[in-house]
Structure 1
Amino acid sequence: MFSRKMILLIGIVFFITVNFIILTVSSKGVLPETGIERIATSFVAPFQMVFSRSITLIGGVWQDYFATVRAAKELPRVKNELAKAMEKVNLCIELEQENIRFRKFIRFQDLEKETLVAAKVIGRDPSPWFRTLMIDKGAKAGLTKGLPVLVSEGVVGQVVAVAGHYSRVLLMTDRNSAVDALVQTSRARGIVKGNDSELCSFRYVLRKNKIQPGEMIVSSGLDGVFPKGLRIGWVVDIEENTSQLFQEITIKTCVDFDTLEEVLVSVKDPMSQDAASPPMDDVSR
């Protein structure tokens, strides 16, 4: 007894052999155009159609397989090129953003009479009790303790420690910071104190001064540190207590301290200082 696999194999071989014989004979014109040829053709045609379709299907699967293999080999290279392209795109975006910030600095520097030294932020104080940052310019670039630190949006803080190539800046939002300021419209004067957040207090403003939310607070220049007219923030809340002499005013800073990457340090020109101060002989006289 033959097994099923053997019978199936014999059938496939017989089918292929018959197709081959019919195709060969038909192509050579050996069979006469009689009823026998028509019967043979009718008998073989369905099998031949299935055979042709099977060959086509197998060929398509085989091509798809090789295409998949080639694609799998190409995938690491494509991923590598895509990663490089994404890196270049990201670099272009960063350069564009940096150029935007530098253009703001250039326009801002044109308006300032002082010499401005550009510096990059290289570190921040992790302590929750202090609001400071580290910049990559120091005494070698002419920086000294007490100099104001600015950006085009407004006041950042003040230099509190200087090394050869680095400096520490106390931010305006620190509790130990104070900036003499005034309301831009009414010129009402007060002191901006930090609250360790983006909200600062505008203190010592007399209750008689009428201040509205949204009004801009700018530096007065009277503290001898920050130039006059620099933006500090705008009024967001006002509390008037009839039993107190001063108002309780809260302002939101113009500068986003969490996203600072570059700053400007206002450095006084020694030549201009010497020209402004009288000679010792004149003072003695």
Structure 2
Amino acid sequence: MFSQKLIIFVGLALFIAINFTAMTMSNREFLPTNGIERIFISITSPFQMVVTKTIHFTQNIWNTYFMTVLAVKENVELKKQLEKSVEIKNRYEELERENTRLKKFVNFTSSMPDTYVAAQIVARDPSPWFKTIMIDKGTKDGLVKGSPVVVPEGIVGQIIKVAKNYSRVLLITDRNSAVDSLVQNSRVRGIVKGNNEDNCSFVYTLRKEEVKEGEMVVSSGLDQVFPKGMKIGRIIKVTKIHSQLFQDIILDTSVDFNKIEEVLVFKKNR
């Protein structure tokens, strides 16, 4: 009794032999000339078609898989290159912005006779009750308490605490800050006080004085802290109440305190 494996082996060998014979007969030199050959071709042709289609299908699957693998690898590589290009572009843009800011500083300091120290802002007070920043310069750089801090756009504040390598700066927007000031055109005097917001108040200006919206307020220099003529802010609102002696005036500061990164500190003589 023949085993099942032997039957499968014989059947497979017979199938291969029939296909080989049919392919040989289909050659131009061996065209079928009798009925037996035609019967062989008729029997084997469907099997040959199935085998051929199976081979083509397998080849297509392999080619598709191979191309997909290559596409995935290429996509990963392109993403890496794109990320690197974006990083380089960001660095370039950041250097351009820093260069622009430093040019303003150079032009500003060259027009001032006094000595300034450039410093970077390293921290900001997160509390809503205080408007202060920390800079990376201190006593070793010649800074002292009360030194005015400015940028080309205008006044930033003054140093209230100083250590060897760091200093704390009270911004003019803090409610404890006060700068003796005047309206640039009319020369009306007053005091710029912070209100712990993004703007300031111009106080102690008599109601009889003519103050208009859009006018620039600058430092008077009379407080012996800030140099005379430094920009503080532009008037955005003027309110006169007959029952009050002074006007209510609001300034939009010249300095955008949310965007400054470097400052200049005036070195005062001890």
TM-score by length of 1: 0.78
| Counterpart contact for 2:32–2:38, Cα < 8 Å | no
Cα separation, partners in 2 of 1:260 and 1:35, compared to 1, 3 Å: farther
Residue 199, structure 1, aligned to residue 199, structure 2: yes
Cα separation, partners in 2 of 1:26 and 1:130, compared to 1, 3 Å: same
Deviation at 1:72, TM superposition (A): 5.3
For 2:31, the equivalent position in structure 1 comes to 31
Cα separation, partners in 2 of 1:66 and 1:188, compared to 1, 3 Å: same
For 1:87, the equivalent position in structure 2 comes to 87
Query: What secondary structure sits across from 1:257 in the alignment?
Result: coil
- Alpha-carbon distance between aligned partners in 1 of 2:209 and 2:17, rounded to the nearest angstrom: 110
Query: What secondary structure sits across from 1:63 in the alignment?
Result: helix
Cα separation, partners in 2 of 1:61 and 1:223, compared to 1, 3 Å: same
Segment of structure 1 superposing worse, 47-56 or 211-220: 47-56
- Alpha-carbon distance between aligned partners in 1 of 2:18 and 2:34, rounded to the nearest angstrom: 19
- Alpha-carbon distance between aligned partners in 2 of 1:131 and 1:206, rounded to the nearest angstrom: 28
For 1:184, the equivalent position in structure 2 comes to 184
Deviation at 1:90, TM superposition (A): 2.7
Deviation at 1:87, TM superposition (A): 3.3
Aligned residue pair count: 261
Residue 107, structure 1, aligned to residue 107, structure 2: yes
Q: CA RMSD in A?
A: 3.3
Cα separation, partners in 2 of 1:202 and 1:33, compared to 1, 3 Å: farther
For 2:253, the equivalent position in structure 1 comes to 253
Segment of structure 1 superposing worse, 123-132 or 156-165: 123-132
| Counterpart contact for 2:192–2:203, Cα < 8 Å | yes
Deviation at 1:234, TM superposition (A): 1.2
Query: What secondary structure sits across from 2:158 in the alignment?
Result: strand
- Alpha-carbon distance between aligned partners in 1 of 2:190 and 2:17, rounded to the nearest angstrom: 106
Residue 154, structure 1, aligned to residue 154, structure 2: yes
Segment of structure 1 superposing worse, 68-77 or 137-146: 68-77
- Alpha-carbon distance between aligned partners in 2 of 1:153 and 1:243, rounded to the nearest angstrom: 36
- Alpha-carbon distance between aligned partners in 2 of 1:255 and 1:165, rounded to the nearest angstrom: 25
For 1:276, the equivalent position in structure 2 comes to none
Deviation at 1:20, TM superposition (A): 4.7
Query: What secondary structure sits across from 2:27 in the alignment?
Result: helix
Q: Please list, as runs of the form range in 1=range in 2, the aligned pairs for 1:1-40 lying within 5 A after superposition.
A: 14=15, 20-27=20-27, 29-32=29-32
Deviation at 1:40, TM superposition (A): 7.7
- Alpha-carbon distance between aligned partners in 2 of 1:178 and 1:186, rounded to the nearest angstrom: 21
Amino acid in the other structure paired with 1:193: K
Deviation at 1:46, TM superposition (A): 7.5
- Alpha-carbon distance between aligned partners in 2 of 1:61 and 1:133, rounded to the nearest angstrom: 65
Amino acid in the other structure paired with 2:213: P
Deviation at 1:17, TM superposition (A): 6.4
Cα separation, partners in 2 of 1:54 and 1:112, compared to 1, 3 Å: farther
Query: What secondary structure sits across from 1:180 in the alignment?
Result: strand
Segment of structure 1 superposing worse, 50-59 or 183-192: 50-59
Deviation at 1:157, TM superposition (A): 0.3
Same amino acid, percent of matched pairs? 54
- Alpha-carbon distance between aligned partners in 2 of 1:77 and 1:213, rounded to the nearest angstrom: 58
Amino acid in the other structure paired with 1:158: Q
Cα separation, partners in 2 of 1:245 and 1:68, compared to 1, 3 Å: same
Amino acid in the other structure paired with 1:26: S
- Alpha-carbon distance between aligned partners in 2 of 1:177 and 1:205, rounded to the nearest angstrom: 17
Deviation at 1:71, TM superposition (A): 5.3
Segment of structure 1 superposing worse, 214-223 or 164-173: 214-223
Q: Deviations over 1:48-75 (max 9, x none)?
A: 6665454333212212223434555677
Cα separation, partners in 2 of 1:42 and 1:246, compared to 1, 3 Å: farther
- Alpha-carbon distance between aligned partners in 2 of 1:233 and 1:251, rounded to the nearest angstrom: 6
Amino acid in the other structure paired with 1:266: F
Q: Please list, as runs of the form range in 1=range in 2, the aligned pairs for 1:196-235 lying within 5 A after superposition.
A: 196-235=196-235
TM-score by length of 2: 0.81
Segment of structure 1 superposing worse, 123-132 or 159-168: 123-132
Long gaps (5+) in structure 1: 1-5, 274-285
Cα separation, partners in 2 of 1:218 and 1:18, compared to 1, 3 Å: farther
Cα separation, partners in 2 of 1:103 and 1:44, compared to 1, 3 Å: farther
